[in-house]
Amino acid sequence: MVTSAEIMTPRYSLRMTNLRRTLSLLGTVVLGQLCLPGDVVAWCALLLVRALWGSSSRWSWSDEVLVVSLREGSWPARTWFRSWGGATLGHAVMLAPGQERVLPHELVHVKQYEAACCLGALVGLVVLALGSWRGALAAWCLAPALSYVGAMLAALLRGRAPYRENVLEAAAYAEAP
């Protein structure tokens, strides 16, 4: 048992710091595995967007995300992406031309995606225990999309705007306007 006097020592503090670092690294690896199915699809989609309409792409090691910026005057920038600053697909973020300032907002959605992947994996394990590997895989892979659709539906049912006033967007705007 650790005494209160021992907790106050620098040696104990160093041990706890090392333990936190180890757990953080392990957690990052596990989280990466839980998000991998959706990320593979997202990375392929955004690399295709980059090839067709992008001006730049980069991997942000600190945020663990692929960032693709659309080219000015490209088809998405002129049409459906015209009024958006950015969009998040897993650990991949697509930014409209000149909209680097919205990246912090999109990174909040990356955290939300990670949480949804964890939930999907847990639900998938329950479904797997009930005997359906296909249902487990579907729960795991669809959880992030269903989470966002559910947030939009809940906003609609409250008489709110489904995009701007759903809980996921409200949290992202509150953390990074």
Beta strands across the sheet bearing 65-70: 54-60, 65-70, 92-95, 86-89
pLDDT for the residue numbered 8: 58
Closest by CA to 137, choosing from 126, 153, 147, is: 126
User: Is the pTM here over 0.75, yes or no?
Assistant: yes
142-163 pLDDT, tens per residue?
999 999 999 999 999 999 999 9
pLDDT for the residue numbered 49: 96
35-83 pLDDT, tens per residue?
999 999 999 999 999 999 999 999 998 889 999 999 999 999 999 898 8
